[in-house]
Structure 1
Amino acid sequence: MLRGLTTVSFWAADLPAAKAWYTELLGTEPYFERPGYAEFRLGDYQHELGLIDSSYAPPGSATGPGGAVVYWHVEDVSAALDTLLSKGAKEYEPLTERGPGFVTASVTDPFGNVLGIMDNAHYREVLAARGTGDA
């Protein structure tokens, strides 16, 4: 039924500021934009991170961190966490060793969204099996 991650959407009351922050963080401009929306393609599988003007949020939407955290694979969680914090993100969950080959952390971006980062042994195994990355 679920075939893969397509788009992770973050709300932002100040969309131009969020677009600028993520453009600097990711080192790339959005590949798709329309009024009230900007979308980036990221990583090995070109997953999408969408920024949406919070005026489009459905009634009753959470205005702060919610119950789900999406983790993005990174090569070095500690370095990525330091980068995020240096750009104004706030620690949500500290760097945590989850077991052999699994390290996580998460932050709240300056716009109130939770951004998770992870070094994940299973992600590396999938890349290696596909011949598209390091094991």
Structure 2
Amino acid sequence: MLRGLTTITYTADDVAAARDWYASLLGQDAYFAQPAEDTPAYVEFRVGVDEDELGIMDRRFAAPVARDAAAGAGATVYWAVDDVEATLARLAELGATPHEPRTERGPGFVTASVVDPFGNVLGVMENRHFDELASGRRA
């Protein structure tokens, strides 16, 4: 039934500021914005070898439960990283605050999460299965 991840959507009161923050974190500009001119209500980035989609939507358009939830509430999406510690340091430099500390989940699995400056939980993970799959795709 579930075939794979298509888009992860974070929300922000200031989409332009969130776009700029994520552009700094990712080292790339958003490839899509709606509206394309003026103040965006939605922007998208492509991330990683699979070009996973990261969207940032104006919080006004989120479902009521998402708008009303406290910072850090909801599901945590974990993004694959090479080094959790280095990534946490970079996220802290950019103004993210700790949510869940670095946690060993088993051999080859380390997780942590932060809350971005816009109230979204951003999870990061060293994941040996992801690395194995990614290596196969590059070969």
Amino acid at match of 1:39: E
Give the distance between the partners of 2:105 and 2:74, measured in 1 at CA.
Answer: 19
Aligned to 2:53: 48
Amino acid at match of 2:22: Y
Amino acid at match of 2:62: A
Aligned to 1:18: 18
Amino acid at match of 1:42: V
Report how far residue 67 of structure 1 moved. Answer: 3.0
Which TM-score applies when normalising by structure 2?
A: 0.90
Give the distance between the partners of 1:94 and 1:81, measured in 2 at CA.
Answer: 9
Give the distance between the partners of 1:60 and 1:98, measured in 2 at CA.
Answer: 30
Aligned to 2:138: 132
Mapping 1:78-117, distance limit 5 Å = 78-117=85-124
Q: Greater shift after overlay, 108-117 or 91-100? A: 91-100
Report how far residue 59 of structure 1 moved. Answer: 2.5
Q: SS of the residue aligned with 1:72?
A: strand
1:48-71 CA distance string (max 9 Å, x none): 100001111122322522231000
Give the distance between the partners of 1:104 and 1:60, measured in 2 at CA.
Answer: 26
Any stretches of 5+ residues in structure 1 without a counterpart?
none
Which TM-score applies when normalising by structure 1?
A: 0.92
Q: Greater shift after overlay, 59-68 or 86-95? A: 59-68
Aligned to 2:82: 75
Aligned to 2:38: none
Amino acid at match of 1:123: F
CA distance 1:52–1:132, change in 2 (3 Å): same
Report how far residue 21 of structure 1 moved. Answer: 0.4
User: What do you get for the CA RMSD once the two structures are aligned?
Assistant: 1.3
The list of structure 1 runs, each at least 4 consecutive aligned residues, that deviate by more than 4 angstroms after superposition, is none
Any stretches of 5+ residues in structure 2 without a counterpart?
36-40
* % identical aligned pairs: 53
